[in-house]
Structure formats: C-alpha cells, structure tokens
C-alpha cells in the first residue's frame, strides 16, 4: 500500500498478509460512529494498481440509522488497473426503522482485472421486530469493463407504498445477496460448478447465470445474513483455486 487517507468516522486497518503467505493484502474497514446517521454522506475511493491484489471486508454491518430530517447516502468507487484483483466481501447493509438511505457502488475494471463482490442486505433489525420499517432504501451497483457496462443492478423499496410481502424480488424472504464474479475466461464452462454449489430451495433460494460480457452473477434470498455470507464465500471458493491459484478465501474477525 503506497498511500491512504481517511477521516472520522471512517477508518481502516493496517494492511496485512493472509495466513500462509502470498502477495495479496487484506484490509478491514470500520465505522467508529454508531453508523450512518441523519444527513450523513459517506464516500470512499479505492485505486488498485497494476497486478495488485486486495482482500477487503468490513468489521461490522453498515447500519443506516433513522433520518428524520435529511436522507443519508454511502458511495464506494473502485478503480482496478490492468491485472488487479479485488475480493470484496463487506458485512450486511441494515436499514433501521425510520431511515431513508441510498448505497451506490461502482467498479471500473481494466484489462485482465478480477472482481468478486458480495452485496448482502437485510430488511432491518429483524430480531427487534423492525422488518421493512425503514422509510426508503435504494441501491445501485455498476461494474464497467473498460467502456462496456457489465453490470447495472438497481434495487429500491419504499414499504409504505410498496408492500414487500408479495414482491417478486423478495418472495417472502427478509435478506438478499448478489454475488458478482468477473475474471478472464470465467463463463459458461464454470457456471456448472457454481450451480452445483448453490443451496437447495428452503431457507435460501438461489440462481446463477452468465453475464453478457463474461463472468457470473448469483442472486440469493434468505432469512439470515450470516447464511448468505457463508454461501457467497462457498460459491467464490469453488472457483478461486483455479482462477487465482490460491487456497480458499477466509476472513478472520
């Protein structure tokens, strides 16, 4: 890591090597405040140089607090130069009761860049009886391969106007996950391996498909964030040893 800058309430750990050696760096981000508060606007910018390899996660969920007077937002921007690798598995996004918030994540991939990104969302603090009690939530994920748009994934929900129970996007579940995997040569030949890793219908519902520009996208519905997190890592680890010539990815927190 050649340069870093952050200001409160955002911070991130010193970079360190994963157990067993290797040339990749592991970094954890954290929020030293209670979470994203009324009127807060968070922004992070990451630049991965040529042939660098970053394993990135967060120490806790993105907690979107009530916004009685001004909505909040979180924006992440990643630029991967040629041959760079980013494995980004943040903790769950949780919109609290009374919150109105948006989350935007943008990736710009250079030639031969590799991306694995898991986006996990909860309908609220479920165990406190706050499911779908936020005012509004919007998210957008964009992944660019050069000048070509590979992924444009938008989700929005306003429970007062949009009853989430019959929603085709949720089907009665309280948690969602999207796993985007882009790498040179990753496509239909690897889709069968990914599909064999998907959980059977029950507490989770999942499907996978090949992206038009190359790569694989996976969508999951579930009832607990940790189950979706484990499943996303399991799916990625079914491909990682072959794609990166690395052992299975683990995050120790």
**pLDDT truncated to tens, each residue of the chain (253 aa)?**
777 777 778 888 778 887 766 788 999 998 888 999 999 999 999 999 999 999 999 999 999 999 999 999 999 999 999 999 999 999 999 999 999 999 999 999 999 999 999 999 999 999 999 999 999 999 999 999 999 999 999 999 999 998 887 888 899 999 999 999 999 999 999 999 999 999 887 889 999 999 999 999 999 999 999 999 999 999 999 999 999 999 999 887 7
Is 252 part of a structural domain of the chain? no
Please give the Cα distance from 253 to 250 (Å, whole number).
Answer: 10
Please give the Cα distance from 43 to 75 (Å, whole number).
Answer: 5
Helix (H, G, I), strand (E, B) or coil at 72: strand
Domain span at residue 138 reads 10-184
Please give the Cα distance from 153 to 41 (Å, whole number).
Answer: 21
The reported pLDDT for the residue numbered 110 is 97
Is 49 part of a structural domain of the chain? yes
Q: Are strands 100-109 and 93-95 parallel, antiparallel or unpaired?
A: unpaired
> What pTM value is reported for the model?
0.94
Task: Look up residue 96 and give its DSSP letter.
Answer: P
Domain total in the chain: 1
Is 41 part of a structural domain of the chain? yes
Is 217 part of a structural domain of the chain? no
Burial class (CB in 10 A: 0-12, 13-18, 19+), 47: middle
Task: Look up residue 7 and give its DSSP letter.
Answer: -
Is 208 part of a structural domain of the chain? no
Is 19 part of a structural domain of the chain? yes
Is 173 part of a structural domain of the chain? yes
Is 168 part of a structural domain of the chain? yes
The reported pLDDT for the residue numbered 32 is 81
The reported pLDDT for the residue numbered 15 is 80
217's CB contacts (< 8 A; 6+ apart) are 151, 178, 179, 180, 181, 208, 209, 210, 211
The reported pLDDT for the residue numbered 219 is 97
CA-nearest of 216, 128, 207 to 174 is 128
Helix (H, G, I), strand (E, B) or coil at 17: coil
Write phi, then psi, for 222 (nearest 5 degrees): -160, -170
């Amino acid at each position: 890591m050649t340069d870093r800058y952050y200001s409160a309430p955002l911070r991130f750990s010193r970079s360190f090597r994963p157990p067993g050696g290797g040339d990749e760096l592991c970094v954890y981000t954290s929020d030293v405040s209670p979470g994203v508060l009324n009127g807060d606007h968070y922004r992070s910018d990451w630049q991965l140089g040529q042939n660098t390899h970053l394993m990135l996660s967060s120490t806790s969920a993105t907690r979107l607090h009530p916004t009685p007077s001004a909505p909040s937002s979180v924006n992440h921007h990643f630029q991967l130069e040629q041959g760079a690798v980013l494995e980004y598995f943040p903790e769950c996004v949780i919109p609290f009761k009374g919150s109105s918030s948006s989350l935007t994540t943008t990736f710009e991939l250079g030639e031969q860049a590799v991306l694995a990104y898991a986006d996990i969302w909860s309908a609220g603090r479920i165990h406190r009886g706050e499911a779908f009690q936020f005012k509004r939530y919007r998210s957008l994920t964009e992944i660019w391969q050069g000048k070509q748009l590979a992924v444009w994934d938008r989700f929005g929900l306003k429970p007062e106007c949009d009853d989430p129970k019959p929603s085709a996007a949720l089907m009665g579940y309280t948690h969602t996950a999207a796993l985007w995997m882009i790498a040179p040569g990753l496509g239909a030949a690897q889709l069968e391996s990914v599909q064999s890793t998907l959980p059977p219908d029950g507490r989770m519902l999942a499907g996978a498909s090949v992206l038009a520009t190359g790569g694989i996208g996976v969508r999951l519905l579930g009832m607990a964030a940790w189950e979706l997190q484990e499943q996303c890592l399991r799916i990625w680890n079914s491909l990682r040893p072959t794609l990166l010539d690395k052992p299975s990815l683990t995050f120790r927190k």
